[in-house]
Amino acid sequence: MSRLCALSAAVVLLCPLAGCGGGSDGTGSTVEESSVAGPPWNHDPGDATRGPAAWGEIDPSFEPCTAGNGQSPVDIAEATPADLPTLEFNYPPTPFVVKNTGHAIEASMPAASDLTLTIENAEYRLVRFQFHAPSEHSLDGDSYDAEVQLVHRSANGELAVVAILLEESSLPSPLIDQVVELAPDDAGEEVEIDERLSPLELFLEFRPPRAVVDGYYTYPGSLTMPACTKGVRWIVLEDIFVIRRDAVARLHELIEGFPGYDGYKDNNRPPQPLNDRKIERSS
């Protein structure tokens, strides 16, 4: 049994399905999270009525998914070198909650937590991190086995999402392994983790609570699940990190059990057109 499992075997419902909306992230912010409740949708491109191409028509609140030209994820094929500021992470250990939302496996931070990302004079608080398998972003057309996205929100509501691309390996990635192992099988359930852990452990080579990162890509985009909120500051780290093969297999097993996925095992949105946006790379 993992050290996380030993801490908490209790699984509780997130909320009754009829009363659970997609407009809250569980921390009091307005960052929507994926939810088993609400209009049915999935990640299957072959599903003409519920898949990604149909998201904008499923519900009026989902209109941004197909309106305009600023959607995410994208393929990072060309990037302009730029003098970008360093990323300063301050992620002290904290308890958190692991959720099966019916569209993703997420770990939500407590409302009172103070895990921050600072970019020059802008500070963002970490709201949650979530897993997609395979990756949503790609590099020169190459996708990866998984992607973890760390969603941050500033005091005035601006969003910054840090994406970490993950490649299968036999090497352990302890925090990922434990979160994926602990994730509930059933959509709409969560497990509370009382032990204090730092999401900085996702980066492997950094020791909590602080780290400075200077190698990344950035572009303006959106959240990658309905309602596809625009105005997101995307940051994709240059370094590729590892995820155990068993953890990738477990993610796909969980995804194919999501309601309305009918056995479809992936939860990545296809790449969106870059259009006139520019991707910058730290020089």
For the chain, give every domain's residue range: 3-7+38-134+143-282
Q: Give 181-229 as a DSSP string.
A: HHS-SSTTEEEEEEEEE-GGGGGSSSPTTEEEE--EEEEEEE-SSTT--
* Model pLDDT for residues 240-280, shown as the tens digit of each residue: 999 999 999 999 999 999 999 999 999 999 999 999 999 99
Q: What is the pLDDT of residue 204?
A: 79
Q: State the DSSP code for 98.
A: E
**What is the C-alpha to C-alpha distance for residues 210 and 198, in angstroms, rounded to an integer?**
10
Q: What is the pLDDT of residue 107?
A: 98
Predicted TM-score (pTM) of the model is 0.88
Give domain 3-7+38-134+143-282's CATH superfamily. Answer: Alpha carbonic anhydrase (3.10.200.10)
Q: What is the pLDDT of residue 35?
A: 61
- Intervals of the chain under pLDDT 70: 1-36
CA angle 243, 74, 34 (to 5 degrees): 65
Q: What is the pLDDT of residue 36?
A: 64
**What is the C-alpha to C-alpha distance for residues 144 and 163, in angstroms, rounded to an integer?**
12
What CA–CA distances, in Å, run from 221 to 26, 95, 155, 233, 280?
A: 23, 30, 19, 6, 13
Identify the helix (H) or strand (E) that includes residue 176. Answer: helix 174-182
60 Cβ neighbours under 8 A, 6+ residues apart: none
